[in-house]
Copies of this chain bind each other. A is one copy, B any other.
């Protein structure tokens, strides 16, 4: 509890930066309040990793593993190891070689370790890329909509305008995309990049097929823009079913590849990374890589990613033989199992009774943390508060993830951190909620005659 004395400097909120006045923030605060107010509700809201998959508490042995690697593979002595772990380190990072090797082995992405920047989570990587690419107010970033709230947050903080590109199921609305790009060009604005999470996107769970990926790469080349690929949930694909990442298909350095170790290793490390092998040329013809520029910008944001945090991730990676995919294997299986369980429970509990018509629908992703569900009414804060209080189950309004005010009648269900038993109970409560008269997710068949054509 805070001290109650309230003397002294007072700042008007409207005098602060507009990123703090965004309605999305109020919405998120509201969501958090609802969660706090209903601690016994089953929550399909947060996309946090499953607690039982977190490593054991023996941190010491992990660091010993990484220190042994520094000694054996890199020939460091104690003094050098101490400097490596405890001193300021390079902005670019310390475990770039391990991450680059993992990309080569897991995804066939050949990348120079120096073209990779280790960041304080993927969020910082997003911020750095937006900052580097957008010079002024005429520079725009296109974003597949709905999108991860972090890209919208980074853009707001930097005053970078976003251009929504509509997702249509497991594809994009190509016509809208081409039209929007043309309109921006005609208005004198430059679309510098297109942010896309092609694999089990947060929030929708959508996956872009191989053909759509190739089409995006061709479009990026034609329109001279970069693709900002967020790979956060690709690891959840079943063995052999994953579609090649944009970066692994990229022969023209069109893709800036962003990833996080939060889901694969652990969130508490706050380690992410970005691959940016694009060539930068100045007026005198001197060349650098976009990664060099991102590292420079990073020196103005966090200086360098904690070496201790990097060492922890490095140790986990070494334990898994240097492969993020190997490290992710058990976790991915657990998340797929959770998702199958959620989809099974939805199928079972939301089957219409005889004489009843279902007015809710949802997608059936094969991976990721999220299912997207459409309702016949607005899935807003009021409805969420009602659902929590009366039905004891929580979800996230999909409009939190829309940058154009859309998504009013949809919600996101996350199953990443629940047990199967919690999922079963949660879905039963959800079925009650959907049959609530405020939602009208099921209706008598005859009542809809003349409504459904």
Contacts and interface: CB of A to CB of B under 8 A. Distances in A.
B14 A308 contact: no
Nearest to A133: B16
A88 B262 contact: yes
Given A86-B54, A269-B308, A127 B278 contact: no
A328 to B, nearest CB: 15
A202 interface: no
Interface in A1-52: 1-3, 6-20, 25, 48-49, 51
B302 A270 contact: yes
A426 interface: no
B287 A253 contact: no
A278 B10 contact: yes
* Number of identical protomers: 2
A279 B11 contact: yes
Contact of A15 (B1, B67, B135): B135
A2 B60 contact: no
A223 B255 CA distance: 49
Contacts of A17: 131-135, 297
B87 A9 contact: no
A252 interface: yes
A87 B57 CA distance: 13
A64 interface: yes
Interface stretch (A173-181, A288-296, A354-362, A392-400): A288-296
Contacts of A305: 270
B10 A281 contact: yes
A287 to B, nearest CB: 7
A270 B10 contact: no
Interface string A129-173: 001111100000000000000100110111100000000000000
Nearest to A298: B123
Contacts of A61: 60
A378 B77 CA distance: 41
A68 to B, nearest CB: 11
* Secondary structure class of chain A's binding surface, majority of residues: mixed
Nearest to A253: B8
Interface string A205-226: 0000000000000000000101
Among A150, A190, A226, A296: residue with most chain B CB under 10 A:
A296
Contacts of A11: 278-281, 290
A289 B2 contact: yes
List the 8 closest pairs (A to B, CB-CB), nearest first: A60-B60, A8-B253, A153-B300, A13-B282, A270-B306, A268-B307, A86-B268, A120-B302
Interface of A: 1-3, 6-20, 25, 48-49, 51, 54-61, 63-64, 67, 78-79, 81-83, 85-89, 110, 112, 114-115, 120-121, 123-124, 127, 131-135, 150, 153-154, 156-159, 190, 224, 226, 251-254, 262, 266-271, 277-283, 287-290, 293, 296-297, 299-309, 312
26 contacts: A3-B112, A8-B277, A9-B279, A10-B281, A12-B282, A13-B283, A16-B280, A17-B297, A18-B135, A20-B132, A55-B82, A56-B82, A59-B59, A59-B60, A86-B267, A88-B262, A131-B157, A154-B300, A157-B301, A268-B306, A270-B302, A271-B306, A301-B301, A301-B302, A308-B309, A308-B312
